[in-house]
Amino acid sequence: MDMATGINIPYLNGFDDLRAVEAVSQVLDGFEQQLIQYAPWANGAQQPQASFALAYSNDEIYLKYYVTEHTLKAEYSKFNDPVFEDSCVEFFIAFDGDASYYNLEFNCMGTCRGQYGRHKTGRTFLPVSLLKTIKHQTQVKNGDTGNIQWELTLCIPKKIFKYHPALSLEKSNAKVNFFKCGDGLPEPHFLCWSKVEAQKPEFHLSRFFKEITFSPQVY
């Protein structure tokens, strides 16, 4: 499916017992990557390269980001810190027509900031006890021409979405957007998967989310 209109998320048939994030990382390397390619506020500046691969099981969403950028910053280490000021990737999702949505933000070392709400302001932080259940793996590589390549693999349990306690991923409808940012970097940048139309950088505009489909299990 055209990434401009949405994507199908494959079900990891036979991998529901995956427990090691390293194994998930290797599996996701074999999946199609989606580009986080839109930079509506770039003003001609050179931008990082970012993409992601996505899959799911009965109980988890599997997400891996692939990033190449000039500067690597990971200052924040506590849950719900402002990780968007570091080298950061983000995942926003709204389930089943809900006007409110979850934002899960991670710096390159996997520190997570998670919230739920309808607008950018007045959002509710997700409990640290839940955020701790997200498994992650970071791999950092030296790229060519002075760039840094890093990858972040995430295993996100569906219980993270605490305001949807009866959530069944396979049977749900969802709208999403994916981002790459670095507000506090020497050269700030703001990339999005589904293009956002706004005069200044703004990710919290759910009208620009795109539909995704959790592909049915194959029995």
Nearest to 28 by CA among 179, 161, 112, 152: 152
Residue 119 has pLDDT above 90, yes or no: yes
Does any domain span residue 219? no
Does any domain span residue 2? no
Distance (Å) of CA 41 to CA 11, 83, 189: 35, 20, 8
Q: Note the pLDDT of residue 146.
A: 76
Residue 3 has pLDDT above 70, yes or no: no
Q: Which structural domain, as residue segments, surrounds residue 167?
A: 7-214
Does any domain span residue 153? yes
pLDDT tens digits along 40-90: 999 888 899 999 999 999 899 999 999 999 999 999 999 999 999 999 999
Does any domain span residue 1? no
pLDDT tens digits along 156-191: 999 999 999 999 999 888 999 999 999 999 999 999
Q: 10 Å Cβ neighbour count for 65?
A: 25
CB 184 within 8 A of CB 40: no
- In this structure, is the dihedral angle defined by the CA atoms of residues 10, 16, 22 and 23, taken in order, positive or negative? negative
- Model pTM? 0.94
Does any domain span residue 159? yes
**Containing H/E element for 74?**
none
Residue 117 has pLDDT above 90, yes or no: yes
Number of folded domains that form the chain:
1
Question: Per-residue DSSP letters for 192-215?
Answer: ESS----SS-----GGG-EEEEEP
**Containing H/E element for 26?**
helix 21-28
pLDDT tens digits along 14-29: 665 566 899 999 999 9
Coil, strand or helix: which one is 113? strand
Round to whole Å and give the CA distance between 101 and 79: 19
Looking up tokens 């990434």 gives 3
Q: What is the CATH number of the domain that holds 134?
A: 2.60.40.1190
Round to whole Å and give the CA distance between 44 and 104: 28
Q: Note the pLDDT of residue 145.
A: 72
Does any domain span residue 145? yes
Nearest to 34 by CA among 22, 48, 18, 49: 49
Average pLDDT over residues 87-115: 97
Which tokens belong to 148? 């840094």
Q: Note the pLDDT of residue 2.
A: 40
